[in-house]
Amino acid sequence: MIAVAAPGYPLHFVPAGDLLGILPILIVGGGAVVVLVWDLIRPRGQEVWLAGLTGLFLLAALGTAIGQWVANSGPIVVFNGAYANDRFALFADFVVLITALAVVVLSPGYLRRRGLAEGEYYILLLASVAGMLVLDGALNLIVVFLGIELLSIPLYVLAGFARDDQRSQEGAMKYLLLGGFASGFLLYGMALLYGETGHTSLTAIHAFLLRDATAGHVDPMVLAAVGLLAVGLAFKVSAAPFHWWTPDVYQGSPAVVTTFMSVATKVAAFAVFLRLFSATLAPYRAEWTVPIAVVAIISMIYGNVVAVAQTSLKRLLAYSGIAQAGYIMIGVALGRPDGTQASLYYLAAYAFMNTGAFAVVTILSRRGEDCDRYSELAGLGRREPLLAGLMSLFMLSLAGFPLTVGFFGKFFLFSAAIHDGQLALAIWGILTSAVSLFYYLRVILKMYAPAADVGPVEEFEVASVSPEGTAVAAPTAVGPAVLVVALAGAGTIVLGIFPALIYTLLQGISVVHG
């Protein structure tokens, strides 16, 4: 029984050690409150301070997490076994916090250009980040659910943040409905697991399942629970065939929200996916590894093949995200330490390249609508050589070319798959990677294609738009935004040449096996 139960202690104070263990969450959560208050009392027209304040809290949380990493190499379990502040969680925290920081830097300029309200945006963002941090170290089914909801509810609002944009509204509604549905699946799975094992603590569930499996007994109720959990989580990481919301939501949401959603959400959801499956449910590995592998393969095929047919940049990146989820899922399906390591590596790589790619979309977005049509990229190589170069870099990285971090992401995943004898996963991985080249390289081609290659209609379109485009070409906050893109690019290259920088971090990583 997990019963932290207070009956005997009417005045129960939370021990300081426990609070210390969740310090990053407290900072981010507290930050949300402070920003909320500041938004009420701030003088008019000082919106940029909101972003500054938000960034400051995120930085503080990041610093705290780094300090915790340095201070303790071993796992720290707090709140009576409900939350683990182990290196696994801290690594995921790093990725989430860095992505969130990038998004916060991108936001002010973008929100101003699109004419969106600012105050609530940062509060919701911080709340969602808090949910992700909760999820990273959740060691109890209740906490998992808490984290998922804390992460999702602000995102439902953020997705519909462009109130005048019908697409945004439609996306938010879809996200809300399907997200609620997925939460239902997740909750049902948790209930079954609790009903069968009598525990909500992952540690206790693991011990129970271990006994079960050692006795050679496969419990159908647990299998049903595992299936439901997998469906719920596959929805959150947007793996096919549970991805139906992804393209619409990614396309409809404001570009900064999409950036945040596509990277940070995926990282947090994969963190809990990895912890639940490769650690807690490891005794049932023989039962779930094939279905998860099938989901991974379907994701890789569906995402990559459908992305080829897209004409919208954000949809293309959405389908690419589905495909990438499939690759990361390889590590989950393996259910072994090297698979987990490879998945974490890929998530870190993904954070750099995908944040970078979406950040470019954010910068290119003009008043009223996002840069979305494929054709808007035409001639970017001449207009914005730096942005076009960096966008090419991110596309090459997503395609897995060497010299970029994406190569080593796939490298470790495929190597782990082959080592574990899952040749099918590796082969589907490379076949679909070859398909993915088609659309990633086409983006590059579009940017650098000579004017003659652009059709007459599009040429007209470009011509008619360009006066306005040049007027908005130098918006005020593009400076820091370009800095974000440049940093993401630098990370993509540096980690692509020196993979050891992250790999050694993952070497000593510890997971509380839940």
Partner 1 sequence: MSWPILSVTLFLPLAGAVAILAIPASRVRTIRLALMAVTALTLGLTCVVLVAYLAVPPAAASKLSGTANGQSLSSIHSPITFQFQEQVNWLQSGTSLSHLHLAFNEGNSAFNQAAPPPINFSYHLGVDGLSVWLMALAALLFLVAAVVLSQRETRLRTFAVLMLLSEVGVLGVLTSLDLILFYFFWEAALIPLYFLMIGWGDPNRGRAALKFIIYTVAGSLFMLLAIFGVYFITGAQTGVYTFDLPTLIAAQSFVHTTQATTFSLFGHSFAWLNPQEWLFLAFALAFAIKVPLVPFHSWLPDAYSSGTTPFLVFFAGIVSKLGAFGLIRYNLTLFPQASHTFQPLMLGLAIASILYGALAALAQTDLKRIVGFASISHLGFVVLGIFALNVDGLNGAIIQMVNHGIVIAALFICVGVVESRFASRTLSQLGGLARPMPVLAGLFLVVTLAGLGMPLLNSFVGEFLILLGAFQASPVWAVLASLGVIVACWYMLRMYQGLTQGELRLPGTGAVSEQLQAVSRRLGRLDVGPVEVVALVPLVALMLVIGVYPAPVIRYGRFSAAQYVQAANRQTATEPALASSRSAARSQP
**Least distance to partner 1, CB of residue 349, Å:** 14
For partner 1, the binding residue among 59, 427, 454, 490 (CB under 8 A) is: 427
Tokens of 55: 């960034």
Tell me the closest approach of the beta carbon of residue 488 to partner 1, in angstroms. 18
Residue pair 37/48 in contact (Cβ under 8 Å)? The answer is: no
| Residue 262 C-beta: closest distance to partner 1, Å | 24
453 is a contact residue toward partner 1 (CB under 8 A): yes
Is 508 one of the binding residues for partner 1 (CB under 8 A)? yes
415 binds partner 1 per the rule CB under 8 A = yes
- Total residues interacting with partner 1, rule: CB under 8 A: 58
Q: Which stretch binds partner 1 (CB under 8 A): 249-257, 346-354, 454-462, 505-513?
A: 505-513
Q: Report the residue from 426, 443, 478, 488 that binds partner 1 according to the rule CB under 8 A.
A: 426
CB 190 within 8 A of CB 225: yes
Among 21, 29, 283, 489, binds partner 1 (CB under 8 A): 283
Query: Measured from the CB of residue 416, what is the shortest distance to partner 1 in angstroms?
Result: 7
Q: In the set 45, 70, 474, 507, which binds partner 1 (CB under 8 A)?
A: 507
Rounded least distance, CB 442 to partner 1, Å = 7
Q: Select 478 or 495, whichever has its Cβ closest to partner 1.
A: 495
User: Which residues in 235-274 contact partner 1 (CB under 8 A)?
Assistant: none
- Is the distance from CB of 374 to CB of 446 less than 8 angstroms? yes
For the chain, give me the number of helices (H) and strands (E)? Answer: 22, 2
Report how far residue 449's alpha carbon sits from residue 447's, in angstroms, rounded to the nearest whole number. 6
Residue 7 vs 74, nearer CB to partner 1? 74
DSSP state of 15: P
* Surface-to-core class of residue 81, CB atoms within 10 Å of its CB (0-12 exposed, 13-18 middle, 19+ buried): middle
Q: Does 275 bind partner 1 (CB under 8 A)?
A: no
Among 452, 457, 463, 474, binds partner 1 (CB under 8 A): 452
428 binds partner 1 (CB under 8 A): no
CA distances from 68 to 61, 75, 90, 93 (A): 10, 11, 8, 11
The alpha-helical segments, DSSP class H, found in 309-401 are 313-334, 337-364, 380-383, 385-399
- Residue 139 tokens read as 């060691």
- Interaction with partner 1 in 67-86: which residues (CB under 8 A)? 73, 75, 86
Which of residues 75 and 480 has its CB atom nearest to partner 1 in the complex? 75
- Going by C-beta distance under 8 Å and a sequence separation of 6 or more, which residues neighbour residue 108? 47, 48, 51, 118, 477
CB of 235 closer than 8 Å to CB of 350: no
Q: What DSSP letter does each residue of 288-314 carry, written as one string?
A: HHHHHHHHHHHHHHHHHHHHHT--BHH
User: Among positive and negative, which fits the CA dihedral 416, 357, 376, 174?
Assistant: positive
- Please measure the distance between the N-terminal and C-terminal CA atoms of the chain and give it in whole angstroms: 15
**Is there binding between residue 490 and partner 1 (CB under 8 A)?**
no
Say what angle helices 478-497 and 87-114 make with each other, to 10 degrees.
Answer: 150
**Using rule CB under 8 A, residue 278 touches partner 1:** yes
The DSSP bridge pattern shows strands 77-78 and 83-84 to be antiparallel
Q: Judged by CB under 8 A, which of 214, 456, 457, 463 binds partner 1?
A: 214
Q: In this chain, which of 38, 188, 194, 503 binds partner 1, going by CB under 8 A?
A: 503
Q: Give the contacts of 273 (CB within 8 A, at least 6 positions apart).
A: 233, 237, 332
Contacts of 470 (CB under 8 A, 6+ apart): none
Among 152, 336, 353, 365, the residue binding partner 1 under the rule CB under 8 A is 336
Complex with partner 1: residue 320 or 433, whichever CB lies closer: 433
Interface contacts to partner 1, rule CB under 8 A: 73, 75, 86-87, 210, 213-214, 278-279, 282-283, 285, 336-338, 340-341, 392, 396, 401-403, 407, 411-412, 414-416, 418-419, 423, 426-427, 430-431, 433-434, 437-438, 441-442, 444-445, 448-449, 452-453, 499-500, 503-504, 507-513
